[in-house]
Amino acid sequence: MNPEILLDELERDALTEIVNIGVSRAAANLRKMVGQQVLLSVPSIDIVSQTRAARLIGEREVSKLVAVRQDFKGAFSGRALLIFPHEKSLELVRAVTRDELNAAELVEMEHEALTETGNIILNSCLATMANMLRQSLTMTIPVVIRGDSATLFEVWRDAPADAPVLFLYIDFTVRDRNISGYIAMLMNIPSLVAVKELIAAFIERVVGSDD
């Protein structure tokens, strides 16, 4: 892979922290929605090829997947995916509607609830990132897609074959609900180069401040 876009250890730490802030915000928002504690793992981050990203998820999740997709534009542009196993999707809907719906209503609400949940999580994540990196981003309306891991990563047609993916392996778990998922960001090389530069600037600010 293009060495320009590969993150060194420090940059990866910095990005992890930035994303950590983002998912914390997302968790806080989700918490408000479900009225339950939402636990988040400390994310692990890497830039991998699309194929490898598909394999990373495909290996772990046997069943079909559901994803909420949002595109972002700004100093760095790309596509964000909130991914979770298909069978957890209704569970998530049940959680965010606080178990107030019957089965028929659940199915009816599913699409809308997923879109809204995805919007909250991805938006908090991306907005925080942009904020920490002192940039602004615009986001498109979220879309729900379904399929196996390969399909999810294939949809980004504009990307060159096997484009790099900023892959965030975040487990988020809603207490007593057994829900978990992943966040992936697909960016093209110019955007990844931009992100890398912004991260370097962030490190400079943080490390330079206390000495």
Partner 1 sequence: MTEDRNPLDHAIAAAASGSWEWDIGLDRLWIDERFAELYGLDATQTRTPLPTSTFFLRIHRDDKTRMRIAVAGMLGGSENFSKEFRIQVPDGSIRWMHGRGQTILGVKDEPLRFTGLLVDVTDRKRAEERLRIAQKAGGIGAFEYIDGFAAVTVSEEFCRLLGLLPAPALPVPTINRLVTQGYGPLIPEQIGDEDAELAGEFLVTRSDDAQPRWIARRGEIIREGTAGGYRLVGVIYDISAAKAAERELRELNETLEDRVQSEIDERLGAQAALRQSQKMEAVGQLTGGVAHDFNNVLQVIGGNLQLLAGDVAGNLRAQQRLQTATAAVARGSRLASQLLAFGRRQPLAPKVINLGRLIRGVDDMLRRALGEGVEIETIISGGLWNTLVDVVQVENALLNLAINARDAMDGQGNLTIEVGNAFLDDRYAARHAQVDPGQYVVIAVTDTGCGIPAEIIEQVFEPFFTTKPEGQGTGLGLSMVYGFVKQSGGHVKIYSEFGQGTTVRIYLPRTRELEDVEVDTEAGPITGGTETVLVVEDDEQVRGTVIDLISELGYRVLKAKDVQSALAVLETGISIDLIFTDVVMPGQVRSTELARQARERLPNAAVLFTSGYTENSIVHGGRLDEGVELLSKPYTREALAQKIRQVLRKRGLPASSAARQQAAATEPTGSPLRMRVLLVEDELMIRLSTVDILEKLGHAVSEAANATQALELLNKDTFDVIIADVSLPGMRGDELAARAISLQPQLRVIFATGYGLPPTGAQDALRRAVTLQKPYGEHNIVDALKTATSVQPLQ
Summarize as ranges the residues that interact with partner 1 (CB under 8 A). Answer: 9-10, 13-14, 16-18, 20-21, 24-25, 27-28, 39-42, 52, 55-56, 59-62, 128, 132, 169, 171, 173, 178, 180, 202-203, 206-207, 210
Residue among 14 and 185 whose Cβ is closer to partner 1: 14
Rg (CA), the chain: 17
- For partner 1, the closer CB: 33 or 188: 33
Question: Whole-number minimum distance, CB 108 to partner 1, in Å?
Answer: 28
Our CB check for partner 1 shows the closer of 63 and 138 to be 63
Rounded least distance, CB 55 to partner 1, Å = 7
Give which of 137, 158, 155, 157 is closest to 147, Cα–Cα: 155
Cα–Cα dist 172/183, whole Å: 10
Q: Which is nearer to partner 1, 22 or 78 (CB)?
A: 22
Q: Which whole-number Å values give the CA distances from 45 to 6, 19, 90, 156, in the listed order?
A: 11, 9, 28, 20
For residue 54, the minimal CB distance to partner 1 (Å) is 11
Tell me the closest approach of the beta carbon of residue 109 to partner 1, in angstroms. 25
Return the DSSP state at 6.
-
Burial category of 205 from C-beta neighbours within 10 Å (exposed 0-12, middle 13-18, buried 19 and up):
exposed
In angstroms, the CA 182 to CA 85 distance is 10
Cβ of residue 52: shortest distance to partner 1, in angstroms? Answer: 8
Rank residues 18 and 69 by Cβ distance to partner 1 and give the closer one. 18
C-alpha separations of 82 from 6, 122, 174, 183, 190 in Å: 23, 7, 15, 5, 23
